[in-house]
Structure 1
């Protein structure tokens, strides 16, 4: 969808948000080429004067901390908090096995936890032969859960890297952390 069409229908999004008591309204999510994404977002914001947009949503499939930092830096220009609504390592020619994802996650999540511009973030799970985009590694695995719903090794690392900064309300990290020996889905 072009940015002008998105801006034209944004008042409908705002109305639905009001009807449901949504407290934060987040922009359409940008992914892929940084130049095209930031250009689209600028055109959307210019066309949507007076619109309620509380945060900017982006996706990242970069496979290095430098790549993620550069992406965040490029969207900083909009002066709004950033929600990284999908991220995982998903580049051809890079180790996207579970062990590669663990290394990437251990580099990126601590930085996300301390970066004030990033208000929220969420991992993007994908598995072998499950994602339509070509991944050249023979064993791509970014799944936070196993086939039975139990946390995978990657899922356990992800949970362990949270430092309570992103939780809202009165919940403590211990209250939202699942029992590591039980499946998280019935």
Structure 2
């Protein structure tokens, strides 16, 4: 009898210990456990900062900037270092060796020197290729002395006679100056279509150099009366998704964080409000939060994955082709529970990918925060192989948000998780996955 009591007691103890271990290993999901992507090494702005607060607002989301000058105020040095920002000096229409020397002495890590700003525009650097080539030896010598790599003159469609086409100007310039002198091709674009931007950039790829898009926004002068702030936001979303997807784009700089006009006036391209609050506009929210397409950050169990934190998007399918491929866009969400960006215009055959890292193989729950006026069929692929499909019921309208709980099976380890719209459409705010102990 004592032996049976002993066995019974041992079983109770084992069950208790197993119960404790289960509770100890159970992860309580918290919506706030969000891991932010690394910032894009490409993303920057063309702007002469006047306030440290502006640097603090934009700094966490940009990697570089320039101000059309070789000079840079020393008061920003510590802040730039803290935020890992690279300032690139510029020889706008000639070299100011003294100013460049002062900056290089404070910043020996400075690597690049931008050259000649829009030389084929009569109200900018205003130089023929021959005139630019005459100034080039001095710029090249100073760059060599200071250990700087040269970036080509920044080209746009121009007003200089016979040089309206930037390629004509640049081709003549490189007949006089070796192409090997430069480590990148700089260009500006104000076309209001992301497809036109992509086409324009493709013209400069023939030089086989990294592309620096040092000014861009939608501002072509053709649509001043009808263009809206929403259209500028749509352009930014599409354009940045393309620029991040194309490996030949080395850097890009938005024009412009702030100007003298109101952020509510055409062309609606300001990232910062013209107020004393040093706050972002809705366009600025998009610019600072849109995906860097970071391939090194993986999300684990219960971590909130913002919809805009995809590692790739279907727009990437158009890279290296003559076509533009549409994809979903991002904007400030109207989901009251989670004020970040939402993925919208997410239609049939569109896809986004996320990097995930389950700790164990097994059955999981995938939560998706979404809104849709129609039923939507989703396809899930893991590392390029079909995993499962799921039909999401409509939420009643595109402004009514619900959280779906979807059963999925995942293997252990780092993987790429693709969500494709097979039928229907939706808006998405965030997603997360967790094992079924948390359901």
TM-score of Structure 1 vs Structure 2, range by shorter chain: 0.7 to 0.9
**Distance verdict in 2 for CA 1:59–1:50, change over 3 Å:** closer
**Distance verdict in 2 for CA 1:78–1:25, change over 3 Å:** same
State the shift of 1:128 in Å. 8.2
- Is the strand fraction higher in 1 or 2? 2
> Which among 249, 252, 256 is matched to residue 125 of structure 1?
256
Q: Secondary structure at the match of 2:165?
A: helix
- Is the helix fraction higher in 1 or 2? 1
Instruction: Say which is worse superposed, 92-101 or 2-11, in terms of deviation.
Output: 92-101
- The two structures have a TM-score, normalised by structure 1, of 0.75
* Residue of structure 1 in register with 2:208 after alignment: 79
- The two structures have a TM-score, normalised by structure 2, of 0.33
Q: Does 1:139 align with 2:266?
A: yes
> Which among 180, 183, 187 is matched to residue 58 of structure 1?
187
> In the TM superposition, what are the counterparts of 1:145-164 in structure 2 within 5 Å?
145-147=272-274, 148=276, 149-163=278-292
Higher relative CO (CA 8 A, sep ≥ 6), structure 1 or 2?
1
Q: Secondary structure at the match of 2:247?
A: coil
1:51-103 deviation line (CA, Å, top 9, x unaligned): 61111100000111110111011111111111000000002216544322111
**Distance verdict in 2 for CA 1:84–1:90, change over 3 Å:** same
**Distance verdict in 2 for CA 1:86–1:155, change over 3 Å:** same
> Which among 132, 137, 143 is matched to residue 17 of structure 1?
143
Q: Does 1:46 align with 2:171?
A: no
* Aligned-residue RMSD, C-alpha: 2.5
Q: Distance in 2 between matches of 1:126 and 1:71?
A: 23
Structure 2 regions of 5+ residues with no counterpart? 1-126, 295-439
Larger radius of gyration: 2
Structure 1 regions of 5+ residues with no counterpart? 131-137, 166-186
Q: Distance in 2 between matches of 1:13 and 1:128?
A: 30
State the shift of 1:109 in Å. 0.3
* Residue of structure 1 in register with 2:165 after alignment: 36
Q: Distance in 1 between matches of 2:179 and 2:206?
A: 18
Given that residues 11 and 51 in structure 1 are in contact (C-alpha distance below 8 angstroms), is that contact kept between their aligned partners in structure 2?
Answer: no
Given that residues 188 and 216 in structure 2 are in contact (C-alpha distance below 8 angstroms), is that contact kept between their aligned partners in structure 1?
Answer: yes
State the shift of 1:47 in Å. 0.6
State the shift of 1:20 in Å. 3.4
**Distance verdict in 2 for CA 1:41–1:26, change over 3 Å:** same
**Number of equivalenced pairs:** 158
Q: Secondary structure at the match of 1:25?
A: strand
**Distance verdict in 2 for CA 1:50–1:106, change over 3 Å:** closer
* Residue of structure 2 in register with 1:173 after alignment: none
